[in-house]
């Protein structure tokens, strides 16, 4: 049993991650936010109970032998395991959602940090009782990230100010909980420092523009809009690159157009001002050649679609950037443009 217990956190992490990937990995649903809100509410109540037990100077039972001793130890440890479950449920879901919403290096760094916290939570359950400062920091982080999703979804707006409001609400909730907790165990300052760090990351475009989720992004040389269908001719990636939807090199004849199509999911009722930016790399670095703004409307399961093109792009390194009009990056598709005509068997038509 002692050997098997070492694998409990790993098993819990894998099962929870797979479940969230299957259930909320494609879009943000209101029911998911309500479920995560219930987890946060349960975590708050449990923290207050643990603080009350700590204020009463209750002592953990001595290590006993047999069934009675094992049950006594489990009853003492069970609240920490339940708190670990609540934090893990929120972390796992938010990791999936932020992962789907990230499209460049800065946001990937934030997602990596969130993933490390997710894994660390699976091994930190026994330490919660000895480190209330850690509990307040994790509760604040969970509440801030959840409100970052829920508030824009509730008001139907992606105005950047809602990020600041939701961050403020999250840290104030954690501070209020600390104030009313019996004995005020632990310190709340690290939680405030986390909030400041998130605001700094937001100003540096290191946090994805949630609750938007990139569904698809592709480029090609033939585009047709047939009623509600968007059809794009793309070049296929080599067979061994099974993770790519298309080749990284695009062949165009002289005078042809290079089309780009994106699909970005937004919750029902959320309107977002988005844009396509076509950029080319030259001696001065990345330079914007063309910018096409458009307004997206949430609710479509496969994402709101936008398309644009550049005429006769010069050979070289290009990229198509999908972003909010206030500069928040949603996705980046790099490509190399070369002169030529790809053979028909190397292309296929994709529908969006």
Q: Please give the average per-residue pLDDT across 157-183, as a whole number.
A: 91
* pLDDT of amino acid 74: 62
* pLDDT of amino acid 161: 86
Tens digits of residue pLDDT in 137-166: 889 988 998 998 888 878 877 777 888 999
Tens digits of residue pLDDT in 53-103: 888 877 666 665 666 656 666 676 778 778 878 887 887 777 777 776 666
Computed over every residue of the chain, the mean pLDDT equals 82
Helix (H, G, I), strand (E, B) or coil at 245: coil
Percentage of the chain with pLDDT > 70? Answer: 81
The total number of residues written for the chain in this structure? 352
* pLDDT of amino acid 296: 84
Helix (H, G, I), strand (E, B) or coil at 316: strand
Q: Please give the average per-residue pLDDT across 339-343, as a whole number.
A: 90
Give the relative orientation of helices 105-122 and 8-24 as an angle to the nearest 10 degrees. Answer: 140
* pLDDT of amino acid 292: 95
Q: Please give the average per-residue pLDDT across 108-130, as a whole number.
A: 64
* Domains of the chain, CATH where assigned: 2-203 (no CATH), 213-351 (2.60.40.1930)
Q: Please give the average per-residue pLDDT across 189-193, as a whole number.
A: 92
Q: Look up the pTM and report it.
A: 0.72
* pLDDT of amino acid 19: 62
Q: CA-CA distance, 334 to 349, in Å (whole number)?
A: 20
**112 within 8 A of 99, measured Cβ to Cβ:** no
Percentage of the chain with pLDDT > 90? Answer: 36
**φ, ψ for residue 295, nearest 5 deg:** -110, 125
Tens digits of residue pLDDT in 261-303: 999 888 777 788 899 999 999 988 999 999 999 988 776 777 8
Instruction: State both tokens at 114.
Output: 């969130």
Whether 255 has a pLDDT exceeding 60, the answer reads: yes
Whether 231 has a pLDDT exceeding 70, the answer reads: yes
Q: CA-CA distance, 121 to 197, in Å (whole number)?
A: 20
Q: Which residue has the higher pLDDT, 135 or 102?
A: 135
């Amino acid at each position: 049993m002692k050997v098997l217990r070492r694998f409990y956190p790993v098993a819990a992490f894998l099962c929870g991650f797979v479940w969230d990937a299957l259930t909320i990995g494609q879009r943000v649903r209101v029911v998911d936010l309500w479920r995560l809100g219930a987890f946060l509410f349960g975590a708050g109540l449990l923290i207050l109970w643990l603080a009350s037990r700590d204020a009463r100077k209750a002592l953990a039972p001595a290590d006993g032998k047999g069934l009675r001793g094992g049950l006594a130890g489990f009853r003492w440890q069970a609240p920490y395991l339940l708190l670990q479950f609540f934090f893990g449920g929120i972390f796992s879901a938010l990791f999936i959602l932020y992962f789907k919403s990230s499209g460049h290096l800065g946001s990937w760094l934030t997602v990596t940090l969130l993933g490390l916290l997710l894994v660390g939570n699976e091994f930190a359950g026994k330490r919660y009782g000895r480190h209330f400062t850690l509990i307040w920091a994790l509760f604040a982080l969970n509440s801030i990230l959840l409100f970052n999703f829920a508030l824009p979804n509730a008001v139907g707006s992606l105005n950047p100010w809602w990020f600041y409001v939701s961050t403020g609400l999250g840290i104030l909730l954690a501070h209020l909980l600390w104030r009313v907790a019996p004995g005020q165990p632990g310190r709340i300052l690290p939680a405030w420092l986390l909030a400041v760090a998130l605001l700094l990351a937001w100003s540096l475009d290191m946090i994805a523009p949630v609750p938007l989720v990139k569904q698809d992004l592709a480029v090609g040389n033939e585009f047709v809009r047939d009623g509600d269908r968007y059809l794009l001719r793309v070049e296929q990636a080599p067979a061994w690159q099974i993770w790519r939807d298309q080749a990284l090199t695009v062949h165009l004849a002289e005078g042809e157009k290079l089309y780009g199509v994106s699909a970005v999911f937004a919750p029902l009722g959320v309107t977002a001002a988005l844009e396509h930016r076509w950029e080319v790399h030259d001696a001065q670095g990345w330079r914007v050649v063309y910018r096409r703004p458009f307004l997206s409307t949430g609710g479509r399961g496969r994402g709101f679609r936008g398309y644009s093109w550049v005429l006769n792009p010069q050979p070289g390194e290009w990229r198509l950037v999908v972003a909010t009009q206030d500069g928040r990056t949603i996705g980046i598709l790099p490509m190399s443009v070369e002169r030529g005509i790809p053979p028909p068997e190397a292309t296929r038509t994709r529908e969006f």
